[in-house]
Amino acid sequence: MQIKTEKIYVPCDCGCTIIEICKYDYPESSSWKEDYDINFYVNAYYSDQRNSFLNKLKTAWNIIKKGTYMYQSILLTKEQYQEFVNKSTILLGE
Q: What is the reported pLDDT for 46?
A: 57
Q: What is the mean pLDDT of the segment spanning 55-59?
A: 70
Q: Could you give phi then psi for residue 77, rounded to 5 degrees?
A: -75, 170
- Where in the sequence is the domain holding 61, given as residue range(s)? 4-92
Q: What is the reported pLDDT for 59?
A: 66
Q: Distance (Å, rounded) from C-alpha 20 to C-alpha 17?
A: 10
pTM: 0.57
Q: Mean pLDDT in the chain?
A: 76
Provide the domain count of the chain.
Answer: 1
Q: Could you give phi then psi for residue 57, rounded to 5 degrees?
A: -65, -45
